[in-house]
């Protein structure tokens, strides 16, 4: 788990500076090294007697800023065994230093605090070392792209952006070496390869701000992982650049945000459940048409998505390198999809946009995100809100609520999703967010009945209010810890309103009433949704046995009535004949809804 966290963390831009070894006196490794005259890159490898122990000016503590340190165990620093490990606590060193054959400077661990060993405090050729586990080498090698230096190039390009504008990845790749060369290489050889990369970056960066000596060096450990060095050790600049490589392997990013945040990779892969569609009079695969036209002609016609969004019909290929899986499919397909997914990265995190999929499990109400968490074995957050798809795709302003516990993931995911037209607020209330998303679809059926009966705005507003009240009662029954404030987020009241006015559940429920019992829900779904799926009816069926089992029907008269109209032939007008004596409001000022100071 620690390893997983470390890997994922390393891909986050928030982790920018944390792998850096810094002396606790406040200097970073670089500033220490600048106590002496800074030699050229070529000279650095020769500085100090190779393999001879020397005394530095200071013994002391070093901080591992990016959480990972490189060490050798045992008394003898000449050992070939190099280990990477996660570490948050400072490292205590003696004043003993040892310079390895490739110029790496090792400090002896203080035996009073650690088991015998050595820690790398300066990297090859340079004054400071930054070790970053970015991507596993096998992942890089099996990418359809030519070679991992694409990612390196991404960093180099970002480094040059300020002076030259974007440098294309293609042009940088021309200078790069083959992956096989690295696989067969020793770790020291990898450092030779880095020179080629840095030359490549330097050639493209000729402004006074980025001299060639500021280029990045990137090496690859034979056992996996990448190692990034800044040549002359300008730590601040390096940190800025680090952001661009740290999360650059996020395979799934939100279009638009990739342009704003260079730390996310451009590619956005969408697993597209393949089906045949008629396109310009010819039967073709949906994914093929999408990749050609960038339009999902079946599910989101009329919207052209940017060129870096790619459809992948092969589920296993689509997910195998993803760092973030974003779940947006009707909940009835979730379990089957997970079963067919094959291997995913250990460090993956999921975000579910799925509204529905509730299940009673041993008296507890299970959520779709619980199922995903159980099947996938990794962190699952939820993103819900007033987000009718075609409006979001058209770039109209809206908000969403991210429910997630883990702060590290929260920061990255907010950055991934949040933009000017899609504002994301994070809360740590997963059940509150997710259940609001699921239940509002049932209330929307009530709003649709109301429209089918051609009642006016006041009536619908009353239904929305009562619906929100019942949502809260239901949710609190199973999850008493759910916060009142969650209902005021986009996932609560806002999603309820938009769905009751513009959603598919509303639309189908209106048609259901107008058909006066002549059409089934399946028929209406087929006629009106063109292959899309209705979630509110399924969710109503999911919660009904739960409400019965827990004697909630009396407390939830509107949800009960909606179910009875939808599935038990109750007359639609019953929606406005709710029993009297219901609580007039679940939201009194004194129950915490308006959070007290
Ligand atoms: N459409 C919307 O406005 C929003 C939808 N959601 C939620 O996202 C989830 C998905 O909804 P939509 O994208 O609207 O889907 P949808 O209701 O339009 O259903 C069609 C989708 O299901 C996929 N599909 C069909 N058969 C499949 C199968 N056998 N296996 C896997 N996938 C299959 C199709 O490829 C297509 O992407 C739902 O839980 C919904 O509540 C959340 C926010 C907004
Ligand atoms: O969830 C949605 C908007 O946030 C979409 O709602 P419908 O499924 O009712 O269209």
536: which residues sit within 8 A by CB, 6+ positions away?
A: 441, 442, 444, 445, 505, 508, 509
CA distances (Å), origin 279, targets 276, 284, 402: 9, 7, 37
User: What separation in Å is there between the alpha carbon of 332 and the centre of ligand 1?
Assistant: 10
From 328, 358, 525, mutation site for ligand 1 pocket: most ligand atoms within 8 A of C-beta: 328
DSSP string, 8-52: HHHTSGGGTTTTSEEETTS-BHHHHHTTSPPPPHHHHTTSS-BT-
- As a whole number, mean pLDDT of residues 24-32 equals 35
Residue 435 and residue 479 in contact, taking contact as beta carbons nearer than 8 Å: yes
- How many alpha carbons fall within 13 Å on the CB side of residue 135? 26
Residue 241 pLDDT level (bands cut at 50, 70, 90): very low
- Specify the 3-state DSSP secondary structure of 237: helix
Q: What is the mean pLDDT of residues 449-460?
A: 96
Average pLDDT over residues 23-35: 34
Ligand 1 neighbour 533 (Cβ under 6 A):
yes
Question: Is 42 or 241 the better-scoring residue by pLDDT?
Answer: 42
Is pLDDT at 78 greater than 90 in this prediction? no
ipTM exceeds 0.90, yes or no: yes
Residues with CB under 6 A from ligand 2: 355, 386-388, 441, 444, 495, 498-499, 503-505, 535
Residue 328 Cβ < 6 Å to ligand 1: yes
CATH architecture, range 440-591:
Orthogonal Bundle (1.10)
- Residue 360, CA distances (Å) to 273, 324, 368, 493 in order: 29, 28, 11, 25
Q: Which two tokens stand for residue 444?
A: 């929307």
The pLDDT tens digits for 318-367 are 888 888 888 999 888 899 999 999 898 888 899 999 999 999 888 789 99
- Active-site position among 16, 415, 440, 472: 440
pLDDT class of 391 with cuts at 50, 70, 90:
confident
pLDDT tens readout for residues 525-557? 999 998 999 999 999 999 999 999 999 999 999
| Beta carbons of 429 and 524 less than 8 angstroms apart | no
Q: Which ligand is nearest to the CA of 354?
A: 1
Q: What is the mean pLDDT of residues 80-106?
A: 73
Residue closest to 385 by CA, chosen among 352, 428, 346: 352
* Pair 143, 179: CB distance under 8 Å: no
pLDDT at 198 over 70: no
pLDDT value, residue 39: 30
CATH class, range 263-427: alpha beta
Tally of helices (H runs) and strands (E runs) in the chain: 23, 24
Which ligand is in closest contact with the Cα of 300?
A: 1
Angle made by CA atoms 41, 44, 46, in degrees to the nearest 5: 130
Token pair in block for residue 546: 């739960």
| Mean pLDDT value across residues 558-567 | 97
Ligand 1 lined by 498 (C-beta under 6 Å) = no
Q: Write the CA distances from 238 to 18, 228, 370, integer angstroms.
A: 12, 10, 40
DSSP strands (E only) in 147-287: 216-220, 226-230, 268-271, 276-279, 282-285
If you measure from the C-alpha of residue 163 to the centroid of ligand 1, how many angstroms do you get, rounded to a whole number?
Answer: 44
Segments making up each domain of the chain, as ranges: 2-33+42-132, 137-249, 263-427, 440-591
Range name among 129-143, 358-372, 425-439, 571-585 with the lowest pLDDT average: 129-143
Whose tokens are 């957050």? That residue is 381
Query: Per-residue pLDDT tens for 483-522?
Result: 999 999 999 999 999 999 999 999 999 999 999 999 999 9
Neighbours of 472 (CB within 10 A): 23
Answer whether residue 161 shows pLDDT above 50. no
Cα 195 to its chain centre, rounded Å, is 32
Q: Six-digit token pair at 255? A: 């279009």
Ligand 1: residue whose CA is nearest its atom 10:
329
Residue 491 Cβ contacting ligand 1 at under 6 Å: no
pLDDT reported for residue 207:
37
Which ligand is in closest contact with the Cα of 353?
1
Find out whether 50 and 34 touch, Cβ atoms under 8 Å. no
Lowest mean pLDDT among 241-255, 309-323, 467-481, 503-517: 241-255
Q: Which two tokens stand for residue 567?
A: 């599935």
**Is the CA virtual torsion 462, 464, 468, 470 positive or negative?**
positive
Q: Sort strands 422-427 and 398-403 into parallel, antiparallel or unpaired.
A: parallel
**pLDDT over 90 for what percent of the chain?**
38
The β-bridge relationship of strands 91-99 and 276-279 is unpaired
Among the atoms of ligand 1, which is closest to the Cα of residue 437?
A: 41
Q: Is 519 a catalytic residue?
A: no
How many Å apart are CA 243 and CA 253, to the nearest integer? 15
């Amino acid at each position: 788990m620690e390893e997983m966290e470390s890997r994922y963390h390393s891909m986050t831009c928030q982790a920018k500076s944390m792998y850096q070894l810094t002396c606790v006196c406040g200097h970073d490794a670089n500033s220490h090294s600048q106590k002496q005259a800074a030699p050229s890159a070529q000279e650095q490898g020769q500085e100090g007697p190779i393999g001879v122990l020397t005394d530095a000016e200071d013994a002391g503590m070093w901080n591992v800023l990016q959480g990972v340190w490189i060490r050798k165990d045992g008394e003898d620093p000449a050992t070939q065994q190099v280990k990477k490990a996660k570490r948050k606590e400072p490292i205590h060193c003696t004043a003993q230093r040892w310079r390895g054959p490739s110029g790496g400077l090792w400090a002896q661990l203080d035996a009073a605090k650690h088991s015998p060993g050595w820690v790398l405090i300066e990297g090859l050729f340079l004054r400071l070392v930054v070790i970053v586990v970015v991507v596993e080498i096998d992942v890089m090698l099996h990418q359809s792209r030519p070679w991992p230096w694409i990612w390196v190039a991404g960093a180099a390009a970002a480094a040059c952006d300020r002076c030259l504008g974007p440098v294309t990845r293609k042009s940088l790749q021309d200078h790069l070496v083959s992956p096989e060369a690295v696989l067969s290489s020793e770790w020291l050889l990898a450092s030779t390869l880095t020179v080629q990369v840095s030359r490549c970056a330097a050639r493209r960066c000729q402004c006074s701000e980025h001299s060639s000596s500021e280029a990045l060096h990137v090496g690859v450990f034979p056992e996996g992982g990448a190692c990034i060095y800044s040549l002359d050790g300008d730590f601040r600049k390096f940190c800025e650049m680090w952001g661009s490589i740290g999360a650059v392997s996020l395979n799934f990013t939100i279009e638009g945000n990739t342009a704003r945040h260079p730390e996310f990779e451009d590619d956005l892969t969408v697993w597209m459940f393949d089906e045949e569609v008629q396109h310009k009079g010819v039967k073709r695969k949906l994914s093929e048409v999408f990749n050609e036209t960038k339009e999902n002609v079946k599910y989101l016609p009329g919207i052209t998505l940017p060129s870096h969004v790619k459809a992948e019909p092969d589920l296993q290929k689509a997910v195998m390198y993803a760092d973030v899986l974003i779940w947006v499919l009707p909940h009835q397909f979730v379990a089957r999809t997970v079963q067919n997914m094959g291997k995913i990265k250990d460090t993956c995190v999921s975000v579910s946009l799925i509204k529905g999929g509730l299940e009673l499990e041993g008296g507890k109400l299970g959520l779709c995100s619980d199922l995903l968490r159980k099947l996938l074995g990794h962190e699952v957050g939820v993103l819900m809100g007033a987000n009718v798809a075609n409006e979001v795709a058209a770039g109209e302003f809206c908000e969403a609520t991210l429910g997630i516990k883990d702060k590290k993931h929260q920061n990255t995911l907010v950055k991934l999703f949040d933009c000017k037209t899609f504002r994301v607020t994070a809360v740590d209330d997963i059940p509150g967010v997710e259940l609001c998303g699921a239940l509002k679809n049932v209330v929307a059926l009530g709003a649709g009945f109301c429209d089918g009966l051609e009642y006016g705005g006041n009536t619908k507003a009353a239904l929305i209010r009562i619906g929100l009240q019942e949502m809260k009662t239901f949710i609190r029954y199973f999850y008493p810890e759910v916060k009142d404030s969650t209902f005021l987020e986009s996932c609560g009241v806002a999603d309820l309103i938009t769905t009751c006015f513009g959603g598919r559940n509303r639309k189908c429920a209106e048609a259901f009433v107008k058909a006066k019992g002549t059409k089934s829900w399946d028929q209406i779904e087929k006629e009106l949704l063109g292959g899309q799926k209705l979630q509110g009816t399924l969710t109503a069926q999911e919660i009904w046995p739960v409400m019965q089992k827990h004697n909630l029907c009396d407390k939830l008269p509107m949800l009960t009535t909606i179910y009875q109209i939808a599935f038990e032939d109750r007359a639609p007008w019953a929606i406005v004949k709710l029993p009297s004596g219901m609580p007039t409001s679940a939201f009194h000022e004194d129950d915490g809804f308006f959070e007290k100071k």
